[in-house]
Amino acid sequence: MGNKKLGRQSVALATPPSVAGYASVVGKKEGEGPLATTFDLIQQDDTFGEKSWEKAESTMQKLALSAALDKAGLSASNLDYILAGDLLNQCIGTGFAVRGQNVPFYGLYGACSTMAESLSVGAMLLDGGFGTHAACMTSSHFCSAERQYRTPLEYGGQRTPTAQWTVTGSGCVILSSEGAGPYVTHVTTGKIVDKGIKDANNMGAAMAPAAYETLLAHFQDTGRRPSDYDLILTGDLGQLGKEIVLDLLHRDGLEVPNLEDCGVLIYDLEGQDVHCGGSGCGCSAVVLTGLLLNGMKSGRWKRLLFCGTGALLSPTSTQQGESIPCICHAVAFSTQK
């Protein structure tokens, strides 16, 4: 069969998979932010009725999957694959959410790029003829992330000015090999980029070069320009990371006024005391499955480039003095095939 590769990192899907359903589930703080009206479910109790934050995170994923399947008019038995992952050690948020679904499953680890990674792999599996339906999913939870990556919440540790706030949320997209769109038309797979940033409280600066390089690769591989998109979304660079990526693009003569960042959009940066903005796998996932896909469905936007960014560090690698390897995967959506 024909090679669908464009350049070094991109592919054009021959039969672009369609978004059959999608859903977003968030916690209280996200439900008090500027995107509140775009979410399917806002839970006031961040435990989601569970006895631990890790179990709460699994419950969020189960709720997002169930709601997305409902909106697609499908059941789990229609799914050929679930592609999912999260930030918790050994991705237990996902493992325990997928348990009991009785669906073939591939676990992914892309840190906060996981929503884009799951969509990338899912779209290629469907386009390749390996199934007709795939659920692409991820989550993060402020409390489980803080406990694991930083310090117990009870310490009340002070946050640095460059810190971001881990989103409590889960997003799920059901892709189908047939449907009325929006469609996934292109995928640009990221390479790991590490410019030597070692401050685990400055993820935006660490991830911005990965976003920049994937954007350049996407434009070069596909021959598209930034203006070919109504909106270009980076994952969760936050305010500082967004400024860095725009600055890097500017140095190449690329002005991208239509670039927004999910980590900036999801909170009121001033009013909600989140410093540089949102982060976590759930950040870009719930902005995609709320604001963005709603906007495509309503005709507000015709073409979006969704660029999930992830920082592939761990507390151990930071303690061992390592810098932060980062990645960014880009997924192009269009209302037309």
Q: Any idea what the Cα angle at residue 277 is, between residues 314 and 161, rounded to 5°?
A: 75
Encoded amino acid at 232, one letter? I
Contacts of 110 (CB under 8 A, 6+ apart): 85, 116, 117, 308, 310, 312, 327, 329
**Using the rule CB under 8 A, is 7 a contact of a second copy?**
no
- Span near a second copy by CB under 8 A; candidates 26-34, 91-99, 165-173, 239-247: 91-99
Instruction: Give CA–CA dist 269/264, Å, rounded.
Output: 7
**Using the rule CB under 8 A, is 15 a contact of a second copy?**
yes
**Using the rule CB under 8 A, is 3 a contact of a second copy?**
yes
Residue with Cβ nearer a second copy (125 or 207): 125
Shortest separation between residue 261's beta carbon and a second copy, angstroms = 22
**Using the rule CB under 8 A, is 47 a contact of a second copy?**
no
Instruction: Map residue 14 onto helix, strand or coil.
Output: coil
**Using the rule CB under 8 A, is 51 a contact of a second copy?**
yes
Please tell me whether the peptide bond between 161 and the residue prior to it is cis, using omega within 30 degrees of 0. Answer: no
Can you name the residues that pair with 153 across neighbouring β-strands? none
**Using the rule CB under 8 A, is 131 a contact of a second copy?**
yes
Please work out the total of residues on this chain that contact a second copy, with binding judged by CB under 8 A. 65
**Using the rule CB under 8 A, is 192 a contact of a second copy?**
yes
Q: CB–CB of 232/258 below 8 Å?
A: yes
**Using the rule CB under 8 A, is 325 a contact of a second copy?**
yes
Shortest separation between residue 260's beta carbon and a second copy, angstroms = 25
Shortest separation between residue 252's beta carbon and a second copy, angstroms = 19
Contacts of 257 (CB under 8 A, 6+ apart): none
Closest CA to 328 of 220, 250, 215, 219: 215
Q: CB–CB of 26/41 below 8 Å?
A: yes
**Using the rule CB under 8 A, is 256 a contact of a second copy?**
no
Shortest separation between residue 82's beta carbon and a second copy, angstroms = 9
Q: How many CA atoms lie within 13 A of 103 on its CB side?
A: 27
Q: CB–CB of 178/15 below 8 Å?
A: no
**Using the rule CB under 8 A, is 73 a contact of a second copy?**
no
**Using the rule CB under 8 A, is 190 a contact of a second copy?**
yes
Instruction: Map residue 293 onto helix, strand or coil.
Output: helix
Measured torsion, CA atoms of residues 284, 289, 290, 296, in degrees rounded to the nearest 10: 110
- Span near a second copy by CB under 8 A; candidates 79-87, 197-205, 266-274, 289-297: 79-87
Shortest separation between residue 297's beta carbon and a second copy, angstroms = 27
Shortest separation between residue 7's beta carbon and a second copy, angstroms = 11
**Using the rule CB under 8 A, is 107 a contact of a second copy?**
yes
x/- letters, 16..45, toward a second copy (CB under 8 A): ------------------------------
Encoded amino acid at 57, one letter? E
Site for a second copy, residues 109 to 128, rule: CB under 8 A = 109-111, 117, 120-121, 124-125, 127-128
Q: Which pair of structure tokens corresponds to residue 153? A: 């919440």
Can you name the residues that pair with 307 across neighbouring β-strands? 234, 330
**Using the rule CB under 8 A, is 274 a contact of a second copy?**
no
Which parts of this chain interact with a second copy (CB under 8 A)? 1-5, 8-9, 11, 14-15, 51-52, 54-55, 80-81, 85, 87-92, 95-96, 98-111, 117, 120-121, 124-125, 127-132, 189-192, 194, 312-317, 320, 322, 325, 327
